[in-house]
């Protein structure tokens, strides 16, 4: 019998593959990808056609790590806001949201809403 942790991780990976079949980032509308670990939040805007990360934010960066953001809803909102600011600086306004196999709830929803408030359209 498999442990619950392995099956949960496998389920999320299957869901992520299912989502990625339908979503790709183009130069006109890059993909906003989110990922979470137990201690950190990662978000990046990716052009899949060129296989390049255009903008990225994580709680491991020096400037963000000094704020000591927790990997919770409030921390995700801060990361989403910072990502939107950096995307505006690179003149990116429209993205496709890749929730990474996570449910659109809690941290994922908070990050997406903060990015929308910051000026990203998706």
Residue 32's pLDDT is what? 97
Tokens 């052009």 belong to residue: 47
Residue 3's pLDDT is what? 64
Please name the CATH architecture into which domain 4-117 falls: 2-Layer Sandwich (3.30)
pLDDT above 70 coverage of the chain, percent: 96
Give CA–CA dist 10/8, Å, rounded: 5
Q: Mean pLDDT over residues 63-83, rounded?
A: 89
Residue 80's pLDDT is what? 96
- pTM, two decimal places: 0.87
Domain ranges of the chain: 4-117
More confident residue, 2 or 92: 92
**41: which 2 tokens?**
């939040």
DSSP string, 64-99: HHTTT--SSHHHHHHHHHHHHHHHHHTT--B-EEE-
Q: CA-CA distances (angstroms) from residue 54 to 21, 25, 59, 63?
A: 21, 11, 17, 18
| DSSP category for residue 56 | E
Across the chain, mean pLDDT equals 92
Residue 64's pLDDT is what? 82
Residue 69 has pLDDT above 90, yes or no: no
Residue 39's pLDDT is what? 93
Q: Mean pLDDT over residues 46-67, rounded?
A: 91
Q: Mean pLDDT over residues 20-31, rounded?
A: 93
pLDDT above 90 coverage of the chain, percent: 81
């Amino acid at each position: 019998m498999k442990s619950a942790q392995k099956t949960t991780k496998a389920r999320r990976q299957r869901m992520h593959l299912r989502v990625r079949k339908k979503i790709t980032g183009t130069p006109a509308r890059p993909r906003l990808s989110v990922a979470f670990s137990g201690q950190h939040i990662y978000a990046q805007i990716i052009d899949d056609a060129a296989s390049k990360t255009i903008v990225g934010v994580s709680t491991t960066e020096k400037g963000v790590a000094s704020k000591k953001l927790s990997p919770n809803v409030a921390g995700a909102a801060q990361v989403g806001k910072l990502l939107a600011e950096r995307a505006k600086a690179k003149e990116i306004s429209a993205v496709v949201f890749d929730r990474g196999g996570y449910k659109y709830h809690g941290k994922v929803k908070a990050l997406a809403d903060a990015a929308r408030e910051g000026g990203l359209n998706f």
